[in-house]
Amino acid sequence: MSKQAFPLGKVYSLLEPGPVVLLVTAGAKRPNVMPMSWLTMLEFEPPLVGIVVSQNNYSFGLLAEGKACSLNIPTAELAEQVVGCGNCSGREVDKFARFGLTTRPAQTMAPPLLEQCYASLECRLVDASMAERYNLFVLEVVQALGGPDGQGGANAASPWLWYVHAGLSNEITLPSRMK
């Protein structure tokens, strides 16, 4: 297969798709929600997840300060709300009110869970040593709530959302400010 030079600034588009999750953090004013897809499992037990949150995002400071979050797995039915949450900042907007997202208290920490999501993971921050340099946080999942079947995993009637770089898929196309 013939290959050509590829822009380094677009390498991420070759390594994705990844599942989209809604990161919920707690703040003094109100909680915040941010869609993200830069995450990876690091360990099975205890379950450790690595996430990348840009220092430019409001959620970066809330996570670093609060040392806890919830990762909520939305289904395709929430696609418009997910994209909407990603196209505005929690510094200025109550995203829960604007996009009709319902929270419920977590069992073990301050950041709430999203009621409309298929599954929710309560996480505590266990390592932020690479956050300043690489925007990388390591989370330990301390409580997991799965879908109605108790198994987790999406079903055909309500599939999860996956981020696929623009131009690589024609499943769902919604406007986004992502490069």
What is the CATH classification number for the domain harbouring 57? 2.30.110.10
Q: Which positions ≥6 away from 165 have C-beta within 8 Å?
A: 10, 12, 13, 16, 17
Does residue 1 lie in a domain region?
no
Return d(Cα 119, Cα 137) in angstroms, integer: 21
Which residue type sits at 35?
Answer: P
Return d(Cα 166, Cα 28) in angstroms, integer: 36
Mean pLDDT (the chain, rounded): 85
Name the range with the highest mean pLDDT among 4-8, 26-30, 105-109. Answer: 105-109
Q: Within 10 Å of residue 101's Cβ, how many Cβ atoms?
A: 25
pLDDT at residue 177 in the model: 62
Does residue 169 lie in a domain region?
no
First to last CA, the chain: 27
Does residue 155 lie in a domain region?
yes
Q: What is the largest CA-CA distance in the chain?
A: 54
Q: Which positions ≥6 away from 19 have C-beta within 8 Å?
A: 37, 39, 73, 160, 161, 162, 163
Quick check: 38 pLDDT over 60? yes
Tens-place pLDDT, residues 110-133? 999 999 998 999 999 999 999 999
Tens-place pLDDT, residues 40-90? 899 989 999 999 999 999 999 999 999 999 999 998 899 999 999 999 999
Quick check: 169 pLDDT over 60? no
Does residue 8 lie in a domain region?
no
Beta-bridge mates of residue 39: 51
Domain that holds residue 73: 17-163
Q: Could you tell me which of 165, 163, 172, 142 has the C-alpha nearest to residue 73? A: 163
Does residue 177 lie in a domain region?
no
Instruction: Please give the residue that has the higher pLDDT: either 168 or 9.
Output: 9
Does residue 88 lie in a domain region?
yes
Tens-place pLDDT, residues 25-36? 998 889 999 999
Count of domains observed in the chain: 1
Return d(Cα 124, Cα 142) in angstroms, integer: 7
Record the pTM: 0.84
